[in-house]
Structure 1
């Protein structure tokens, strides 16, 4: 199955830089041109999608909340 369109507007193309495996969930770091995007997904999904360091992926970000923190000068 291929995806032809998706409604998620925040999409970051990149390559998997690191995978930190856990027994149930794992962290996946994706290196994009805007920086690192980290996703926490099930370890089963990593195996099902055959994700490996170097795999080209698209990180899809859909958030219902955006927080802002002030940086001290």
Structure 2
């Protein structure tokens, strides 16, 4: 896979929750879980299922940091 986004994090699909049109894909990255919201059509087209090896790709123009 070649992509311009620098933040590519490899993980394993922990859960796929399909809704009416959108799915939430939970990706386990060494004990930390990242959730992605994608279309059900994309889940099917990519063959995403529990146990699949995937990349969480983060592309953002701003990254905010908060502290207590």
SS at match of 1:51: coil
Compute the TM-score of the two structures, normalised by the length of structure 1: 0.84
Q: Does 1:70 align with 2:67?
A: yes
**Aligned alpha-carbon RMSD (Å):** 1.3
Deviation digits for residues 20-51 of structure 1, max 9, x if unmatched?
Answer: 11111110010012611110000111011111
- Mind listing any 5+ residue stretches in structure 2 that lack a counterpart? none
- Mind listing any 5+ residue stretches in structure 1 that lack a counterpart? none
Compute the TM-score of the two structures, normalised by the length of structure 2: 0.89
> How many residue pairs end up in the alignment?
68
**Distance (Å, rounded) in 1 between the aligned partners of 2:62 and 2:51:** 30
